[in-house]
Amino acid sequence: MDILIDILLALLSVYLAFRCMLAPKLSKAVFVFFAFGLTLALAWIRLGAVDVAIAEAAIASGFMGVLLLDSLRDFSLTFSKNHNVIEVKPNNSVEVKNRSELFPKIGLGIGLLLFLLISLEAVWNIPEGGGLTALAGSKISESGVEHPVTAVLLNYRAYDTWLEIGVILMGLLAIFAAGGIKQYRKAGITPSQDPILRQAILIFIPVLFLFGAFLLYFGKMGPGGAFQAAVMWGAIGILLHLGGWPVFTEIPRRLRLLMLTAGLGFFLFLGLIFMTTGGALFEYPPAYAGLLILMIETFGAVSIAAALTAIFAFLTK
């Protein structure tokens, strides 16, 4: 039974990937992309990585989908102004192309197929071994948490996680850089003022907040943690913006920046504090490790949520 589900998932994800790539319309591609992301999330669950599945479903499918839908709207707005551009190319254009364009494509196709086969063989040859799972498990009592993934992310390899939280902030800065200097211009068109939508958003927000907080705290003993919680909290910011409350752009600049940098900054601050007392960077005393990790995760989640909201607010202005 299990193997049937696995095969179905594998076929479905490849099929959806092709559909997404070959979709004649952008809107269709975006919707297939949603489905593709959810299939991947299911595949992660089948592989036993629930943490990754939550992140995949929330970020790769949810957040990316929202951004894609938004840019789709921008495209249609741009193209409807000069309506000649929107024409979809006829599907039979493949046959019209001459042979000189076909050969490189065939070559590329064969090359990619070879690459796939070789990589499959390389993956096949990997010996069965747990990696560092056993070692990570044996030291778990000193790490302050009960879930090995959280222990790896926030204690054993805290340095990597710290840098990754930084990467999100850097990505945000890079998006701002690409958008020029016109940061946070006040929105020209206010989004829908539909009272039902606004009411529904107000109902959802506490639920999302609680669920995010639960994921954050649950990360101590099971799948969950800062990144997953951050997506829930980021969704609050995005929903508020959609409902016509652009809270993130309204709050004072200092507070906004503080929210964005709190995760990275607090993580570094704690690390440096224990370094000045003679330890190494990110070395926590085992007795307090659990509490400190929870604090770091909370600040991290706030920062990531703020970054996701900021990306949305910046791109949809």
Q: What is the binding site for other proteins (CB under 8 A)?
A: 118-119, 121-123, 125-127, 129-132, 135-136, 139, 155-160, 163-164, 166-167, 169-171, 173-174, 176-181, 254, 257-258, 260-261, 264-265, 268, 271-272, 275, 279-284
**Distance in Å, CB of 59 to other proteins, minimum:** 16
**Distance in Å, CB of 281 to other proteins, minimum:** 4
Closest CA to 267 of 257, 278, 282: 282
**Distance in Å, CB of 135 to other proteins, minimum:** 5
**Distance in Å, CB of 270 to other proteins, minimum:** 11
CB nearer other proteins, residue 156 or residue 233: 156
CB nearer other proteins, residue 240 or residue 264: 264
CB nearer other proteins, residue 13 or residue 261: 261
**Distance in Å, CB of 172 to other proteins, minimum:** 9
CB nearer other proteins, residue 10 or residue 281: 281
User: Per the structure block, which two tokens stand in for 100?
Assistant: 């000189």
CA dist 169 and 307 (Å) reads: 7
CB nearer other proteins, residue 3 or residue 122: 122
CA dist 230 and 228 (Å) reads: 5
CB nearer other proteins, residue 205 or residue 268: 268
**Distance in Å, CB of 310 to other proteins, minimum:** 12
Taking the alpha carbons of 68, 50, 229, 268 in that order, is the dihedral positive or negative?
Answer: negative
